[in-house]
Structure 1
Amino acid sequence: MSAIVFDLDGTLVHSAPDIAAAANRMLQEAGHPPLDMATAITFVGKGIPHFVGQVMAHYGIDPAQHAALTARMVAHYTAHPADLTRPYPGVVATLEVLTAQGHALGICTNKFHAQSVQILDALDLSRFFGVVIGGDSLPVKKPDPAPMHAAFAALPGAPLLYVGDSETDAETARRAGQRFALFTEGYRQAPVAELPHAFAFGDFATLPDFVDGLA
């Protein structure tokens, strides 16, 4: 039985539409034009405070407004965390297979814990996971390896595998010394070859076979 920890945004779920919508509500209130989806995706992966900082730099907004704008985006996103967010194709079926095979599954994300649970509940995904570590669960967040270590510590089983989609996820796994599976259809910016990984996949149906090979 393996322990498998997943990233959330860009790995299990395509959440950028709801993140962008919350950002654009925030920007509209502040009198700024909307952010396009392609740009929003480049800001995803390090939590809402970092996302807001990137948006502010993009528009040249006074950094002194960071706390206020972050609070507004958090409020908008918390009110609508899963209106447009959906699991990637094959995710639910793959989680069902991995669970049936006896593997222990968890989440390690930079999204706030409460919002992560909201999304998992709304999409009926919470049933698969024994632990959810969010970006505010510890004093540090990814790429610091501590959140990943905490997620694995809460799960039984070995060998260990981390599954993510981004540069942040690859660096977290590297720092943690953990095997990394890269989902290639998420929000990464760099070419696949530039991210250290044990397995790269664009179809979730191929993941169980890789996990079987770890044993």
Structure 2
Amino acid sequence: MKAIIFDLDGTLIDSAPDIHAAVNRTLAGLDREALDLDTIRAFIGDGVPVLMERVIKARGLEPGQRDAMVEAFLGHYEADPATLTTLYPGVEDALEQFRDEGWAMGVCTNKPEAPSRAILKTFGIDGFFSAVVGGDTVEARKPDPKPLHAVCEQLGAKQAVFVGDSEIDAATAQATGMRFALFTEGYHRAEDVDDIPQDARFSDYDVLVAIVARLADELR
């Protein structure tokens, strides 16, 4: 079976503006100054608890406030997760082509599963994916390999090509032995994308289908 697994934030969707808004609502509730969008974008990728840990450090809050801040953030974010979020250009066309060519598709993200599914549904692309594993679906988050293995299991695939945008996704692919395609327009932290382990990279979804087909052939 041909299978492809996508990260979500920074890969299929540009969600940083909505995450930024929810973070600053959380900070406002604590009478703390807002953080700028670029700062929040750099904090995204390791799941909500780590996001809040980075916010706590940036604003000099107490580490013991993390759990309450996670709850507050999720309340703000899940109430309206897609007001400012957009699909990256070409995503829907690429998904349609993968579907037409018989690829099984899944999502593996550190975002909690419920808002992940809600966002996929909001953009009308939920039907493309037979499996969605979020940061709270299994007992581990990326870069632990368990979430990717869980997606493969749900897809009924022994192997897959993983598409993501960050060092975390690259490390997850390495941990599972999967081929990795890096979307360079997402939320990676490296100044030079050559520093991120990858089998291929792309900035335009128009070329992804050909890239993934090549990577999949290398797995045979």
8 Å CA contact retained: 1:165, 1:187: yes
8 Å CA contact retained: 2:82, 2:122: yes
* Cα displacement (A) at 1:80: 1.1
Could you tell me which residue of structure 2 aligns to residue 170 of structure 1?
A: 170
8 Å CA contact retained: 1:103, 1:157: no
8 Å CA contact retained: 1:2, 1:211: no
Of 153-162 and 13-22, deviating more is 153-162
Aligned residue type for 2:199: A
Any stretches of 5+ residues in structure 1 without a counterpart? none
Matched, 1:202 2:203: yes
Matched, 1:42 2:42: yes
Of 61-70 and 90-99, deviating more is 61-70
CA displacement, residues 9-38 of structure 1 (integer Å, 9 cap, x when unaligned): 000000000000000111111101111000
Aligned residue type for 2:202: F
* Cα displacement (A) at 1:157: 5.0
Other structure's SS at 1:154 match: helix
Query: How high is the TM-score relative to the length of structure 2?
Result: 0.95
Could you tell me which residue of structure 1 aligns to residue 145 of structure 2?
A: 145
Query: How high is the TM-score relative to the length of structure 1?
Result: 0.97
RMSD: 1.1
* Cα displacement (A) at 1:67: 1.3
8 Å CA contact retained: 1:143, 1:172: yes
2: CA distance, partners of 1:209 / 1:159: 18
* Cα displacement (A) at 1:211: 2.4
2: CA distance, partners of 1:63 / 1:159: 39
Q: How many residues align?
A: 215
* Cα displacement (A) at 1:156: 4.0
Aligned ranges for residues 23-172 of structure 1 at < 5 Å? 23-157=23-157, 160-172=160-172
CA displacement, residues 35-60 of structure 1 (integer Å, 9 cap, x when unaligned): 10000011100111110110000011
Aligned residue type for 1:177: G
Other structure's SS at 2:149 match: helix
2: CA distance, partners of 1:171 / 1:178: 10
Other structure's SS at 2:105 match: strand
Aligned residue type for 2:147: P
1: CA distance, partners of 2:157 / 2:211: 16
1: CA distance, partners of 2:61 / 2:178: 39
CA displacement, residues 55-98 of structure 1 (integer Å, 9 cap, x when unaligned): 00001101121111111001000001111111100001100111
8 Å CA contact retained: 1:180, 1:197: yes
* Cα displacement (A) at 1:159: 5.5
2: CA distance, partners of 1:185 / 1:18: 17
Could you tell me which residue of structure 1 aligns to residue 185 of structure 2?
A: 185
8 Å CA contact retained: 1:145, 1:176: yes
8 Å CA contact retained: 1:2, 1:158: no
Of 199-208 and 148-157, deviating more is 148-157
8 Å CA contact retained: 1:133, 1:147: yes
Matched, 1:212 2:213: yes
Of 171-180 and 149-158, deviating more is 149-158
